[in-house]
Amino acid sequence: MPDNRRERVILVGLDLSASGARPRVPADPLVPEAAESLDELATLARSAGADVVDRLLQRRDRPNAATLIGSGKVEELDALIRSNDADTVVFDNELTPTQQRNLERALDAKVLDRTQLILDIFAARARTREGQLQVELAQLTYLLPRLTGRGAAMSRLGGGIGTRGPGETQLETDRRKIQRKLKNIQDELSRVRAGRSIQRRQRQSVPLATVALVGYTNAGKSTLFNRLTGAGVVADARMFATLDPTVRHIALPSNRRVLLSDTVGFIRNLPTTLVQAFRATLEEVVEAALLLHVVDVSALSAAEDTAHVFKVLGEIGADRTPQILVLNKVDRLPDPSIDVSAAALRIAGETAAPAASVAASARTGDGVDALLDSIDRCLALDPVTRAAFRIPVAEGAPLHLLHEKARVLSTNYSGEFVDVEADAPESVLRRLAQFLQHD
């Protein structure tokens, strides 16, 4: 395939809901419509650098054990490949080793499934050594049981989707060598995780809370991260544009400093392999004192996307962490002045009510000040309290501490004393207890 030609992809989905095998429950947004899932698969394929030239949706009572979609649809798919001059077929469902082998024999095209496509995007986006190791671990773990069926795919020359990452040489080695490689990656990842744990303990030795951004992919997390921190994190419309976590300091209105962490976005049907492999990256979410759950409030699928994020947070043990629901992209709404409470209830539901909700636009900056105030109120670590202080004028250090570590609201000089009202963290209150004024 010429280097300047984009890979031409056909998408294939299997709909089991129409037959009653997997009925869609209206109240359960975690059961995706096959067509909606195919739309997201198309976005994933374009993010991987491919052109989606056609799609095929098969409705069956149950998956076909040999080919997933049945022999008749395989023939129809083969005709679509020829008429569209397609290079690759991507299935929205995970293929078994037998199904992938049979499809590769029947079709004159590369055959991938949703997991392989996501792994390929991750391989292209990983920048840090940790991210690269996690991608390689996930790819090799996924491909190991499929080694016997890779003959057709391995004989095809050229690059494209599904060929990035560990590379063909590892796949051509015997199973024992690959298992040894997996062991080496796991050992190296353990060392990386140990280093991250040391860094986290060093951060936690100071009263410095971590706030993690979470949300559905392309909800605007990285744009919000850049708005809050001034960092230059990549922010674009591609899925998984942010893969490796980034941590920066930010100052809250109370003058408390916290750590803000940007993490990978979630999607529906996130493969378990990826959740397990990227557990080290997701530790920033698990260890956070507060989550900023960013939602694209302008998206029609906002409630469904939010439900999938809640599901993944539950899988990694972060579902009990306090959350602020950030209704992002209000600038895209016909009326940006939305009823925040009503919108949050519609999107998150009553059972997953967040600690607070804020409407904002990371692109324009609207609502960011309200978000920072909300973070100040919701953080349990070193909580902020409004207090009055009477400090001798000769005592300059306590006054300096208040201006540096608290939000000073008023200052009045009277004779030998200065009266100060401030929103101060508990750590500052303890240090200045002797100057506190009690009602």
**Distance, CA of 362 to CA of 233 (rounded, Å):** 13
Residues 260-286: b if buried by 16+ CB within 10 A, e if exposed: bbbbbbbbbbbbebbeebbbbbbbbbe
Place of tokens 């629901």: 325
The amino acid present at 49, given as its one-letter code, is G
pLDDT tens figures, 59-89: 888 999 999 999 999 999 999 999 999 999 9
- pLDDT for residue 43 is more than 90: no
What are the chain's domains? 7-168 (3.40.50.11060), 207-378 (3.40.50.300), 384-437 (3.30.70)
Comparing CA positions, the residue from 8, 86, 10, 110 lying closest to residue 51 is 8
pLDDT tens figures, 240-276: 555 566 788 898 988 888 889 887 777 776 666 666 6
Q: Which pLDDT score, from 0 to 100, does residue 69 have?
A: 93
Phi, psi of 243, deg, nearest 5: -115, -50
> Average pLDDT for residues 404-425, to the nearest whole number?
91
pLDDT tens figures, 175-203: 777 788 888 988 888 887 777 666 666 65
Most confident by average pLDDT, 80-84, 216-220, 300-304, 423-427: 80-84
What order do you get walking across the sheet with 290-296 strand by strand?
246-251, 257-262, 210-215, 290-296, 323-328, 356-359
Q: Confidence class of residue 205 from pLDDT cuts 50, 70 and 90?
A: low
**Distance, CA of 117 to CA of 119 (rounded, Å):** 5
Write out 211-257 in H/E/C secondary structure: EEEEEECCCCHHHHHHHHHCCCCCCCCCCCCCCCCEEEEEECCCCCE
Distances (CA, A) of 72 to 57, 68, 153, 386: 13, 11, 23, 72
Token pair for 404 = 């540096």
Q: Which pLDDT score, from 0 to 100, does residue 89 have?
A: 96
